A and B are shown apart, each in its own frame.
Chain A
Amino acid sequence: MRSELGATAVGRLLRSIAVVFGVVSIVFFMSRGAGDPVSRLAPIDATQQEIEDAKERYGLNDPMIEQYGRFLWDIVRLEFGQSFRATRPATDVVGERLVATIQLGAAGLFVAFAIGIPLGIVAAVRRGGATDIFSRIGALFGQAVPNFWLGLMLILFVALYIDWIPTGGRTTPQSIILPAITLGSFPAAAVMRFTRSAMLDTLQQDYIRTARAKGLTERAVLFKHALRNSMLAVITLLGLQVGNILSGAIIVETVFAWPGLGQLIIQSIVATDYPVVQASVLLTSVWIVFINLIVDVSYTFIDPRIRTGAI
């Protein structure tokens, strides 16, 4: 059984490497098509010769395939070159932003699960009731409202009312409240819907009826039997939501002036700062793939039927 588990993990790992390779290759070619960074960063009165010299220094005049080969070799060595804007190693620039994004992402996920799971449970248990209807309407809004708009509304209608919540920045511990709510709103809706539907499904199973027939309390039936068995779907969602959280952070960090990776990616794309864009995208894609890999492998521990191929 251990060898089966190992083979599954290795298979998933190889697939993950292929995904990362695909992502970084696409980013490489797309960023090259986005414009010329030297013209953008050169002083407005730089001569054409000076611009050509700078391109030569950065290797931008080399054939594309040569640049691509060099790029892949650099990735292997975790070398992304100097940031055009910051004139420092791109890995340093990206590394400085990582903590802020992890902090915000974790807070966003916390909001999503702290709101989504209880609401999903209550909605399933009281199916068709007022809580269920309101939760589903809330989920509809959560998934329909764009986070840049929600962020601005929270700034205008919450931060301006409550003095101790700042409108933006990462200056005080309270600074994280509004961006985390904004970031967590979309996944909270998804978590709520997943939890509700998984719970409804589980509550109709024979073993739940058996548990009730045994005279267990409703609390024990719900939390010991139904919820635990419903969590597989929610764990699947966790992997997906890490990606959503990171992509949502790009907008949320800009709206709330949160100095994280998302904001850096926007700035670097605008400035066509290839090394930073590439380093950031590689990092985020590896992170998403890694989380999904962990989720995949964790299934095999949680549900033996997956390991044995029974389902």
Chain B
Amino acid sequence: MTRHWTQLRRSRLSRRSLLRASARAGVGAAGLALVGCGGDDDDDQQSVAQAQPEQEQQQQAMQQQQQQQAMQEQAQQQAMQQQQEQQAEQQAQQAEQQEQAQQEEELDRSTAQEEAEVSEVDLDAELIVGYGSFPPTLDITTAGGGGGQGASNNLHFAALAAYNSGRVIQAEGGFGDWEFTEDLTSFIWRIKEGVTFHNGEPLNAESVQFYWERILGRAEYNPDFESSLRARAGWMGDISIVDEQTVSIVMDPPFVDAPEQSGGINFGLLPKQYIIDNGDDHFANNPIGCGAYKFMSWIPDQEIRSERFEDFAFPHDAPFQWKAGWAKYITGRYFPEEQARAAALEAGEVDIAYRISPDVAKQFEDRDDFKVIALPDVRVMALELPVNQSLDPITGEENPWRDVRVRQAANYAIDADAIIDNLLTGTEERAYSPFPAGYDPPIGNLPGQYNYDPDKARALLEEAGQVGFAFTITLPTGLWTADRIWMPAVQQMLNDVGFQVEVDYADFGNALSLIRNNEVPNPFVFNQAGVSSGAPLGPAFAYRLITTVGAPYSHAQETDDFLPEFEEFQTLINEANTEFDLQRANDLFHQASVISYENAFQVPLFGLPHLYAVRPEILYNEYYDTSTGLNAIYAQKLKT
């Protein structure tokens, strides 16, 4: 009980409020002292006047003189007092600003902490993480299991490929090395020797072949197995074993993104014999992988316990993302309600409250006994505009979005920085493309970028004759951070320059379904990229999903009446998608992105960070420049 009130008091009496109060108290005390002195003088003068009536005139003159002097002094004192008050207020404001800057700095610092020495880390610790979502099954290859990234998949499973910190897939250095054959008809994985799964089964060519055969429904033990990853394997032909540690996959047709789509982070390796012997259901409840932690126990929607895999293939300081775990045990606990998750952290039941909203993060920002970690996300919020339909599907008249001035007006109208600073955490990054700000070369450095300029937006809209243009924005809600907080601001900013915007706050799943079925003809908000600074082929993934012709979350369809600029953009994307020279592909994607930006095919907004509140003894070092979420493997619990 005592601990709670101490914490509560500490959080309420923040340094800022103490500074402000002390400044005001100082001024008040000085003022009271001055008024008190003046009062005493007045009393003295009155008593002298009553006691000696003969010298009244002289005394009156003297008194008047004294009064004048006193008034002058009082005026001076009042002026001084006002000056002091002003100075004190200024000092308080400065102190407040300094503190605010310091807090922001602290928040920034918390994202990039120094890694502790091994001797400082408690290697026998149990790290308890409070998650907001749990998977319904622990088989990573199923639809439900694929969603268990934080609580299960990151810990138990490992995939073939290695990535550098910029999320660039590496040809060598992971659980497998890869290469394309010279004729580009096949793709080869050479599997690292000496690696075992948690049950001692070796990782070899058979495991990798079985992995894909199972997903494709070709595995003899159960051809009916349904994997959600089958969609990713449409390019795969025969999968054959070359030798004990080498697998060859026929590409039908040649596929530039084969390394990512066969050995990328979503494709956690599985033990063949274990699954054949025990069946899919058993595996879904008792997963075995070759990740940094081995599965111990699972109570659905309650708890997943894992233990560090001492025979993991890589050490703590491995050069790529595969690193040995720090804590001896990791326990994931499920708290669907965000405030309950935060309370569990406060009560000491968990060490990390996973993915919290900016509002909840603010509760922990000023506290000495907690830290907030903000990790930038690879995905960027953007407004997808319907530029290729000749008619407005709502009014049946000419589509106003075909006019570049209207699209640019929408871009100039939104003050993303103000939203970031005032409504979000301040750690979000302003976006200039569907990719994070660090994408190299940075599109945000182009001349004529769309920074907030409402006058220009109004002028463009007037020039286009579209003042009062009414449209609806569909916002899939329920997944993206603070969506109902920043969207009204976007709406208001667009309205302020002359648009008439309505927002359709649609359930996430339903909105996704409608967008995929091309049943959302109006602008919609989407969030997808998966690329970091300098990452070649990163845009390939993003443009497979958004903006381009036929992509599931794009307005553009084959039958549309394409703008000439859009055709140019699409041609570059098509070329990039079939370009095996990574540098050349990257250049093509960049050229396409510049065209997209200059022609304002979208309204990029910002990248939302993921926020976590942690206990002070937790140090977290994110391996990637931009992350998809906190990976508990990298978290260090210090000795206390």
A interface residues, Cβ below 8 angstroms from B: 34-37, 39-48, 50-51, 57, 83-88, 93, 96, 152, 155-156, 159-163, 166-171, 254-257, 259, 263-264, 266-267, 270-272
Contact with A along B208-237 (1 / 0, CB 8 A): 000000000000000000101111101000
Min CB distance B252 to A, Å, is 15
B136 in contact with A86 (CB, 8 Å):
yes
Closest to B226 in A: A87
The reply to whether B340 and A41 form a contact with Cβ atoms under 8 Å apart is no
B512 CB within 8 Å of chain A? yes
Within the complex, the shortest CB–CB distance from B235 to chain A, in Å, comes to: 12
What residues of A have a CB within 8 angstroms of the CB of B354 in the complex? none
28 contacts between A and B (CB under 8 A): A39-B509, A39-B513, A40-B513, A42-B143, A43-B146, A43-B228, A43-B229, A44-B528, A44-B552, A45-B232, A45-B541, A47-B552, A86-B136, A87-B226, A155-B340, A159-B347, A160-B4, A168-B343, A168-B344, A169-B333, A254-B337, A255-B337, A257-B301, A259-B334, A263-B301, A266-B336, A270-B478, A272-B509
A166→B303 CA distance, assembly (Å): 14
Partner of B302, one of A45, A170, A254: A170
> A44 near B545 (CB under 8 angstroms)?
yes
Interface readout for B374-394 with A: 1 if CB under 8 Å, 0 if not? 000000000000000000000
A248 to B: closest C-beta gap in Å = 15
Q: When the two chains form their complex, are residues A167 and B284 in contact, meaning their CB atoms are under 8 A apart?
A: no
B335-A257 in contact (CB<8A): yes
- By secondary structure, the A interface counts as loop
* In the bound complex, CA of A160 to CA of B347 (Å): 5
B528 close to A169 (CB less than 8 A): no
Q: B142 within 8 Å of A by Cβ?
A: yes
Q: Report the minimum CB–CB distance from A42 to chain B (whole Å).
A: 6
Q: In the complex the two chains form, what is the Cα distance from A160 to B510 in whole Å?
A: 38
Closest Cβ of chain B to A173, distance in Å, is 15
Name A37's closest neighbour in chain B (CB-CB). Answer: B509
A47 and B344 CA atoms in complex are apart in Å by 41
The docked-state distance in angstroms from the alpha carbon of A45 to that of B336 is 27
Q: Name the residue of chain B whose CB is nearest to the CB of A254.
A: B336
Q: Are A88 and B281 in contact (CB under 8 A)?
A: yes
Contact A43/B231 with A87-B142, A152-B339, A155-B340 known, Cβ cut-off 8 Å: yes
Which single member of B146, B347, B512 contacts A167 (CB below 8 Å)?
A: B347
How far, in whole Å, are A259 and B134 apart by their CA atoms in the complex?
11
**CB-CB contacts below 8 Å: B280-337 with A:** 281, 284, 299-303, 333-337
A156 to chain B minimum Cβ distance, whole angstroms, is 6
Residues on A with C-beta less than 8 A from B344 are 166-168
Q: Tell me which residues across on chain A come within 8 A of B303, comparing CB atoms.
A: 169, 171
Contact residues in B for A40 (Cβ distance below 8 Å): 509, 512-513
Give chain A nearest CB distance to B520 CB in angstroms. Answer: 13
Chain A contacts for B254, CB-based, 8 A: none
Bound-state Cα–Cα, A55 to B328, Å: 43
Q: How far is the CA of A36 from the CA of B506 in the complex (A)?
A: 14
Across the interface, which residues of B come within 8 angstroms of A96, CB to CB? 300
Q: Chain A residues with Cβ under 8 A from B547's Cβ? A: none
Q: Which residue of A lies closest to B7 (CB)?
A: A160
B346 CB–A CB distance under 8 Å: yes
Known: A41-B143, A44-B552, A160-B346. 18 other contacts (CB 8 A): A35-B507, A44-B528, A86-B137, A152-B340, A155-B340, A160-B347, A163-B347, A167-B335, A169-B333, A170-B302, A254-B336, A257-B333, A257-B334, A257-B335, A263-B301, A264-B301, A266-B336, A271-B509
Q: Is residue B349 contacting chain A, with contact meaning CB distance below 8 A?
A: yes
B contacts, CB < 8 Å to A: 1, 4, 136-137, 139, 142-144, 146, 226, 228-232, 234, 281, 284, 299-303, 333-337, 339-340, 343-344, 346-347, 349, 478, 507, 509-510, 512-513, 516-517, 528, 541, 544-545, 552
Q: Report the Cα distance A271→B478, complex, angstroms.
A: 12
* Inter-subunit contact A39/B232 (CB<8 Å): no
**A156→B337 contact, CB < 8 A:** no
Question: Which residues of A have CB within 8 Å of B228?
Answer: 41-43, 46
Q: Tell me whether A48 and B516 are in contact in the complex, defined as CB-CB below 8 angstroms, given that A83-B136, A155-B340, A171-B302 are known contacts.
A: yes
The smallest C-beta distance from A108 to any residue of chain B, in angstroms, reads 18
Give complex CA distance A93, B136 in Å. Answer: 9
Known: A96-B300, A161-B4. A263 touches B336 (CB 8 A): yes
- By a CB distance below 8 angstroms, the chain B residues around A266 are 336
Residues of B contacting A159 in the complex (Cβ-Cβ under 8 angstroms): 343, 347
Q: Which 3 A-B pairs have the closest CB atoms?
A: A39-B513, A40-B509, A46-B231
Indicate if the CB atoms of B349 and A167 lie closer than 8 Å: yes
The reply to whether A166 and B552 contact each other, CB–CB distance below 8 Å, is no
List, in ascending order, chain B residues with CB within 8 A of A259's CB.
Answer: 299-302, 334
Question: A169 touching B334 by the CB < 8 A rule?
Answer: yes
Nearest CB on B from A164, distance (A): 11
Q: Is there contact, CB below 8 Å, between A167 and B343?
A: yes
How far apart sit A171 and B130, CA to CA, in the bound complex (Å)?
14
Question: With A51-B516, A259-B300 given, is the CB distance from A168 to B335 under 8 Å?
Answer: yes
Contacts of A170 in B (CB 8 A): 299, 302
Contact A45 B337 (CB under 8 A): no
For A163, A167, A267, the residue with the greatest tally of chain B CB atoms inside 10 Å of its CB is A167
The answer on a CB contact under 8 Å between A88 and B343 is no
* B137-A155 in contact (CB<8A): no
In the complex, what residues of B have CB within 8 A of residue A87's CB? 137, 139, 142-144, 226, 284
Question: Do the beta carbons of A161 and B1 come within 8 Å of each other?
Answer: yes
In whole angstroms, what is the CA distance A162 to B349 when docked? 12
User: A256 contacts which of B281, B333, B340 (Cβ < 8 Å)?
Assistant: B340
Asked if A35 and B513 make an inter-chain contact with CB atoms under 8 angstroms apart, the answer reads yes
Report the bound CA distance from A110 to B142 in whole Å.
Answer: 41
Give the docked Cα–Cα distance between A47 and B516 (Å).
9
Q: Taking A167-B347, A270-B509 as contacts, is the C-beta distance between A86 and B144 under 8 angstroms?
A: yes
Minimum CB–CB distance from A2 to chain B (whole Å) comes to 47
Chain B residues near A85 (CB-CB < 8 A): 136-137, 143-144
Among residues of A, the one whose C-beta sits closest to the C-beta of B266 is A43
Q: How far is the CA of A270 from the CA of B334 in the complex (A)?
A: 17
Residue of A nearest to B541 (CB): A45
Report chain A residues within 8 Å CB of B137: 85-88
CB atoms of A34 and B336 under 8 A apart: no
Q: Which residues of B contact A93 (CB under 8 A)?
A: 136
CA separation between A84 and B145, bound complex, in Å?
11
B83 to chain A, nearest CB (A): 46
- Measured between beta carbons, the chain A residues less than 8 angstroms from B301 are 257, 259, 263-264, 267
CA gap between A269 and B158 in the complex, in Å:
32
Q: How far is the CB of A112 from chain B (nearest CB, A)?
A: 23
* Complexed CA–CA distance, A255 and B142 (Å): 28
Q: A48 near B4 (CB under 8 angstroms)?
A: no
Bound together, the chains give a CA A255 to CA B132 distance in angstroms of 11
Closest to A259 in B: B301
State the CA gap A169–B528 with chains docked (Å): 34
Q: Knowing A152-B337, A167-B347, A257-B334 are in contact, say whether A39-B144 is a contact too (CB < 8 A).
A: no
